[in-house]
Amino acid sequence: MMQLQNPVLRGFNPDPSFLRVGEDYYIATSTFEWFPGVAIYHSRDLVNWRMLGHGLTRKSQLDLVGIPDSGGIWAPALSMHDGIYYLVYTIVRNRLGAFKDVHNYLVTAPEITGPWSEPIYLNSSGFDPSLFHDDDGRKWVVNVQWDHRPAHPRFGGIVLQEYSSTQQRLIGPMVNICRKVPLIEGPNIYKANGFYYLMLAEGGTDWNHGISMARSKTIAGPYELDPQPLVLTSRKSPGAALQKAGHGELIQTVSGRWYLAHLCSRALYPARRCPLGRETAIQEVVWTADGWLRLKSGGTDPQNQCDVAESTKPHVWSAEPDRDDFNSPHLSPHWQSLRDPVAPDWADTSERPGFLRLRGRESPHSLFQQSILAQRIQSFHATAQCVLEFDPKHFSQCAGLIIYYDTRHHYYLRVTHDEKLGKVVGVVQTDAGVYLEHTPCQIAISDWPRIFLKAVIHDETLEFQASADGQVWHSFPVTCDFTKLSADYAGGFTGAFAGLCAQDLGGTRAIADFDYFQLQNH
């Protein structure tokens, strides 16, 4: 019997939406301010997963320019009915303070790989929408209702409304079908055992997170709460390897077994921070004799391993290279940009074959036009490396290797121009929005035609190195705290990325050419 090892999707892959179509399994995850939107993964055995691509690849589907850190795509929901794939998603324009400015949309596709349609607007009453396809052909959208009023619970319950495929809009009354304290979100409806089941994410997507259930004989309720408060949580198990467990979705296999995909985080101690972000794990679940969902392993703690049905045949995908030499005109789906879609006017692999050419744009603090491409860091022991050809003429021109959480929290090994030293390489950082240059340890490199850059992550420490030949490395005497690139320190909901970037604050779009990028997750 095979076993899957959790997390199955490592590094920033939160809010999994779980779908089975025949013998194929798909998971869609939140991407927040990163473009393209909604990462989609594929497996044929629940054990081995590969990134298939993204659901939202055009600016007409997803306009993120100017949205705040950890805004953008929250909790997508993937489904399939009558040969059509459906993807429901939220775009969060504002997430701070009393108000949530959110808009919910639906796109469809004939295949999981697309092409995905232009978006259909649903509502703006709250976030975390999902679409339920009932046996009678009717379709229903459920989402969190947000309440901005003082002295009212912000999470104002779960609302239900019918969706008309012919009219391509929500119709009929909006009904509040479930209120529960503490806060509930991430609703999904399932039909089993003669009941409609409402699965809920509970307690906030942090250390108190969990999954709870309710059920009803009719879709509009009233819903009876599960006598066991939580189906899954790690809130009472501080020593568990998988923390912050919650927000999940169910599938049933061809053989009839049930599995739950859920988010989780792995922490570094003693800081108790999770710089890899929220990841995705899978647990087997069963229905009790009285019709409630429980972990097959017993209790409520997420397990590091999970059995897969004996009848399942292993399906191992070809290994994906950890190095990109930019020899293809198309970027790997593992690359993501910030807010702004990749376009030839700022990121290109064909103008100089074998290189990624970035043209410098706005600063790493910008919410608008950053020239950055990055990949998820998936391990507490990781090495990112690149080689750069760059000839800055002014201090406003920079390029290099960045370890990034958001606009207010990142570390950057950058090449720039100094009036006295000429071309230099050194470490800069932004911590809680405060920018700092470690100028005493930067080095002059005007005689380096190529600049090799390296970032080494070892648990809580991050160190940078530079080389003129890729053989002899100069280590910078700056030890960075990798754990600060986490929601636990910085707030927000994303995870740490390693990437390439370029800035030209004077607006002349200085060119930086990268010959390769390698990210090894050890």
Which of the following is catalytic: 128, 185, 284, 460? 185
Is 284 among the residues known to form the active site? no
Give 487's contacts (C-beta < 8 A, 6+ positions apart). Answer: 206, 274, 277, 278, 493, 494
Determine the Cα–Cα distance for residues 343 and 362; give it in Å rounded to an integer: 15
Residue 465 CA to its chain's centroid (Å): 28
Determine the Cα–Cα distance for residues 261 and 19; give it in Å rounded to an integer: 10
Q: Are 337 and 346 in contact (CB under 8 A)?
A: no
Determine the Cα–Cα distance for residues 115 and 107; give it in Å rounded to an integer: 10
Determine the Cα–Cα distance for residues 16 and 27; give it in Å rounded to an integer: 6
In one letter, which amino acid is 365? H
Give residue for tokens 């700056």.
Answer: 478
Query: Hey, how many other C-beta atoms are within 10 angstroms of the C-beta on 333?
Result: 16
Which of the following is catalytic: 15, 202, 460, 513? 15
Q: Are 307 and 39 in contact (CB under 8 A)?
A: no
Is 15 among the residues known to form the active site? yes
Q: Which residues pair with 201 in a beta bridge?
A: 185, 211
Select from 65, 117, 48 the least CA-distant residue to 88.
117
Give 128's contacts (C-beta < 8 A, 6+ positions apart). Answer: 74, 75, 90, 143, 144, 185, 186, 187, 201
Residue 193, φ and ψ in degrees, nearest 5: 55, 25
**DSSP strand E in 288-442: where?**
293-295, 305-307, 323-324, 336-338, 347-348, 356-359, 371-376, 381-390, 397-406, 409-418, 422-431, 434-437
Helix, strand, coil shares of the chain, percent, nearest 5, are 0, 50, 50
**Residues 187-199, buried b or exposed e (16+ Cβ, 10 A)?**
bbbbeeeebbbbb
Select from 416, 405, 411, 413 the least CA-distant residue to 491.
405
Determine the Cα–Cα distance for residues 511 and 391; give it in Å rounded to an integer: 8
Give 340's contacts (C-beta < 8 A, 6+ positions apart). Answer: 35, 64, 65, 346, 368, 369, 370
**Long-range contact pairs involving 136-143 (C-beta distance under 8 Å, separation at least 24):** 138/162, 139/81, 139/163, 139/164, 139/165, 140/189, 140/219, 141/88, 141/104, 141/170, 142/177, 142/187, 142/188, 142/189, 142/198, 143/90, 143/104, 143/187
Is the backbone peptide bond immediately before 187 cis, with ω within 30 degrees of 0?
Answer: no
Alpha carbon of 147 to those of 35, 108, 124, 269: distances in Å? Answer: 29, 30, 12, 36
Active site residues: 15, 185
